[in-house]
Amino acid sequence: MSYSGLSDEDTDVQTDTRVTGGDGLVERLLSGDRRALARVISKIERGDPETHGIVSEIYSKTGTALSVGFTGPPGVGKSSIIAKLIELYRKEDRRVGVVSVDPSSPFSRGAILGDRIRLSDHFLDPGVFIRSMGSRGHLGGLAGASRLAALAMEAAGMDVVLYETVGVGQGEVEVASAADTVVLALQPGAGDAVQALKAGVMEIADIFCINKADHPQAKGAANEVRSILDIGQELDPQPWFPPIIMTRGDTGEGVEELKETIQKHRSYLEESGRLEERRRASLKEFVISWAKERLEREMHHRLEKEDDELMEKVYGRELDPISASEKIFREV
């Protein structure tokens, strides 16, 4: 599409209704066709039955991209930092995909207006592909859909895939941990570190980024994170001690250092064998959550349609609920 302000997902709407696949879509995706990529991601989002076939064709061609998850509270500056990072990667001629996820939003469009503005410099760059997703009822959860979107981006030739997730809670932990490196962005003066600690988000961070380094309390925030990390390290020493980088999303200050730190973490993962370990764990998680979702849907389906009798027995106290569960579980 040739005019500014529209990303591929917007233009995708028109084509989707016309075309039903089986038309060389995967070939076009693999050749780096942006419209094909947009369509594939739409299919993933909708849970289109073709998703399975597409994923099985592209999966073996993925696994080498640099994948980084950015998480942190609303407004901390994630998109601003990502925009600056994209600039740096583009200077090295690396292609960048961004999956922008808001687990609290039921919408995939519009809700990410801030990102649109922050990342708008990159919309017309053919080496950058940005896609936002909300928490509509995805099979495999939002984390599953985001991960598949990232796979599609990689298959379409993106060398770097960035996830942006908003908030401090479980939803984004799940999304971010699909990435090989997780950057947690915090903001000075907001008590973010303590919040993140309480929500269990601290543990998943490989790199801390104190953004808005121009804020008078930026140093204090860094010290706060440092002391929390020190205690953690004393209790349970880890070979990778998360670095704390001070950044400015508005000017790009510190973003080069952030990029280098991401690279260092990647090297650490590769050299220590942790990359393999991490990916195995996260793929297993993916497979389980997908299967779990399928099972759950199937069980609902059965209890609603075919096997009402079983539930009637439970309602009438002829059969206890655990026996009913065991029965349905075995059947499914």
Ligand X SMILES: Nc1nc2c(ncn2[C@@H]2O[C@H](COP(=O)(O)OP(=O)(O)OP(=O)(O)O)[C@@H](O)[C@H]2O)c(=O)[nH]1
By the criterion CB under 6 A, which residues form the site for ligand X? Answer: 74-80, 114-115, 118, 166, 211-214, 248-250
Of the candidate spans 11-19, 63-71, 72-80, 153-161, the one that interacts with Mg ion by CB under 5 A turns out to be 72-80
C-alpha to C-alpha distance for 171 and 276, rounded to whole angstroms: 24
Strand order from edge to edge, sheet including 160-166: 128-134, 96-102, 160-166, 66-72, 181-186, 207-210, 244-246
The DSSP code for 65 is S
The least CB distance from residue 53 to Mg ion, in Å, is 33
Q: Is 172 in the site for Mg ion (CB under 5 A)?
A: no
| Residue 21 contacts which entry, ligand X, Mg ion, none (Cβ below 5-8 A, type-dependent) | none
Min separation Cβ 246 and ligand X, Å = 9
For residue 105, state whether it binds Mg ion (rule: CB under 5 A): no
247 near Mg ion, judged by CB under 5 A: no
For the bound state, the minimum distance from the C-beta of residue 253 to ligand X, rounded and expressed in Å, comes to: 8
Which residue number places its CB atom closest to ligand X? 249
Under DSSP, is residue 239 helix (H, G, I), strand (E, B) or coil? coil
Residue nearest to Mg ion (CB): 79
According to CB under 5 A, which one of 7, 67, 71, 79 is a site residue for Mg ion? 79
Residue number with CB closer to ligand X (8 or 115): 115
**CA gap 80, 70 in Å, rounded:** 11
Q: Where are any strands of DSSP class E within the chain?
A: 66-72, 96-102, 128-134, 160-166, 181-186, 207-210, 244-246
Question: CA 202 to CA 38: how far, in whole Å?
Answer: 33
Interface region with Mg ion, contact rule CB under 5 A, candidates 76-84, 149-157, 216-224, 261-269: 76-84
- Pick one of ligand X, Mg ion, none as the site partner of residue 138 (Cβ within 5 to 8 A by kind): none
Residue 45 is a binding residue for Mg ion (CB under 5 A):
no
DSSP annotation of 92: T
> Under a CB-based contact definition with an 8 Å cutoff, are residues 27 and 54 in contact?
no
Q: Which is nearer to ligand X, 77 or 140 (CB)?
A: 77
Nearer Cβ to Mg ion, position 102 or 180? 102
- Cα–Cα dist 156/27, whole Å: 10
Specify the DSSP class assigned to residue 241. P
Q: How far is the CB of 165 from ligand X (least distance, A)?
A: 9
